[in-house]
Amino acid sequence: MSEQKLGLGTLAVHAGTEPDPATGARQVPIYQTTSYVFKDADHAARLFNLEEVGFIYSRLTNPTVMALANRVAALEGGAGAVCCSSGHAAQIMALFPLMGPGCNVVSSSRLYGGTITQFSQTIRRFGWSAKFVDTDDLAAVEAAIDENTRALFCETIANPGGYVTDLDAMAKIADKAGIPLIVDNTTATPFLCRPIEHGATLVVHSATKYMTGNGTVTGGVVVDSGKFDWSASDKFPSLSQPEPAYHGLNFHGALGPMAFTFHSIAIGLRDLGMTMNPQGAHYTLMGIETLGLRMERHVQNAKAVAEWLEKDPRVEGVTYAGLPSSPSYDRGQRIVPKGAGALFTVAVKGGYGSCVKLVNSLKLFSHVANLGDARSLIIHPASTTHRQLEEEQQIKAGAAPNVVRISIGIEDVADIIADLDQGLAAATS
């Protein structure tokens, strides 16, 4: 049965897994082991030389984690994938084979606050830098690219504001510049958007969110399209030239479409150690089985809640891209035609103080620093996730002081609305 011809709902249940050959177990076992016995010395040498695919040490590969990587790659339509310890780890893993001292990434200014900090502050310690641009201004995006730019980066549906990025336009700019487009698809998931079909080279996920869907584990995934020509220029020597950290192997020359994936395992996981644990991979595999069902309910609920909030006189505005009034609505119909996700912001009359009161008054909603849970969640970004940013940066990121971010869960929508109603009453009284 060819995985490429199966629907996403079927892939979510079956892709990347077979019954356990030793026991016949139908569910993927948790291979809770650090190491694997080699058949003989020659077998070990072939594995270490990447002449044979297999398992060496669980910092690199593990059967449970590999099953998850294969499943997510199938869902995204990629050639391969690598799992790691968190969504933040996935972003570093995506950049690691591409960047070097003095290199930069051109990034959307509409990003999760932690990503803005990671890109504006932390990656400087590697000698890398980031340029933040409003991706609505395509001329500005193109102008920001220079000879040292190694990637474009954006989110499909931006966290926290629900802004939808024109992935097709970004891909054209990246192609013209000869650099990869990296898309964070966490908030959309492959059920709402498959960025590779819009020209993305790499797709990253925080599997902590919708993929797992129940707030139990942290994890990240990087999916490679397998379509980028790493040897077309001298910009990506780790992939296109002899790699001194791996016996002079030319990854692209030897491994073709799987070059990025194998480099991320053999070099990235080996040396950075951002490993996903097998139990976390197991939980995520189980979560993905119901991803399609959950996303349908998430979107259905989010649309109903956003429509109700937009009409409420206690609310100044709602950023949900599924509303016809949203600047992202038309783009959303093209990029995420099945729905605009379940994450958006709400501007509350009364500003910062009213937002804090709303958060403190809700009973069904959980006040947590997470999204994509089966439960409805809320947070005030300006005082939490985006607190480290200046107010101007907060506004550009869609996290102004007068907004709360809500992640709509899969509860009965009437109960979600009732909780928001009583919370708004307390916040604006």
**CATH label of the domain that carries residue 340:** 3.90.1150.10
Residue 73 counted as domain residue? yes
- The span from the CA of 415 to the CA of 429, in Å, is 21
pLDDT digits (tens, 9 = 90+) for 19-33: 888 888 889 999 999
Q: Per the structure block, which two tokens stand in for 237?
A: 């020597």
pLDDT above 60: residue 4: no
Same domain flag for 303 and 419: yes
- The span from the CA of 190 to the CA of 400, in Å, is 29
Same domain flag for 231 and 342: no
Q: What percentage of the chain exceeds 90 in pLDDT?
A: 84
pLDDT above 80: residue 178: yes
Residue 121, SS3 per DSSP: coil
Nearest to 130 by CA among 160, 147, 150, 113: 150
Same domain flag for 245 and 299: no
Last residue of some domain: 272, 287, 302? 287
Q: Side-chain half-sphere of 113: how many Cα atoms within 13 Å?
A: 24
Same domain flag for 263 and 357: no
Residue 369 counted as domain residue? yes
Q: What angle do CA 61, 64, 65 make, to 5 degrees?
A: 50
**57: which DSSP letter?**
B
Q: What is the identity of the amino acid at 57?
A: Y
Give the count of domains, the chain: 2
Q: What angle do CA 189, 156, 393 make, to 5 degrees?
A: 130
Q: Per the structure block, which two tokens stand in for 395?
A: 């506004």
Same domain flag for 248 and 390: no
Q: Side-chain half-sphere of 402: how many Cα atoms within 13 Å?
A: 12
Last residue of some domain: 231, 264, 287? 287
pLDDT band for position 171 (50/70/90)? very high
Q: Per the structure block, which two tokens stand in for 155?
A: 């989110």
pLDDT above 60: residue 277: yes
Last residue of some domain: 268, 287, 306? 287
Provide the angle, in degrees to the nearest 10, between the axes of the packed helices 291-311 and 413-428. 40
Q: Given this model, what pLDDT does residue 400 score?
A: 85
Q: What is the identity of the amino acid at 381?
A: P
pLDDT above 90: residue 161: no
pLDDT digits (tens, 9 = 90+) for 99-139: 999 999 999 999 888 899 899 999 999 999 999 999 999 99
- The span from the CA of 245 to the CA of 131, in Å, is 29
Residue 416's domain comprises 292-428
Neighbours of 56 (CB within 10 A): 16
Same domain flag for 189 and 282: yes
Q: Given this model, what pLDDT does residue 253 score?
A: 95
Same domain flag for 258 and 304: no
Residue 308 counted as domain residue? yes
Rg (C-alpha) for the chain, rounded Å, is 22
Same domain flag for 93 and 43: yes
- Kindly report the CATH number assigned to the domain that includes residue 190: 3.40.640.10
Residue with tokens 């080279």: 201
CA dihedral 303, 307, 308, 309 (to 10 degrees): 100
What is the rounded average pLDDT of the residues 336-364? 95
pLDDT above 60: residue 286: yes
Residue 22 counted as domain residue? yes
Q: Given this model, what pLDDT does residue 3 score?
A: 47
Residue 121 counted as domain residue? no
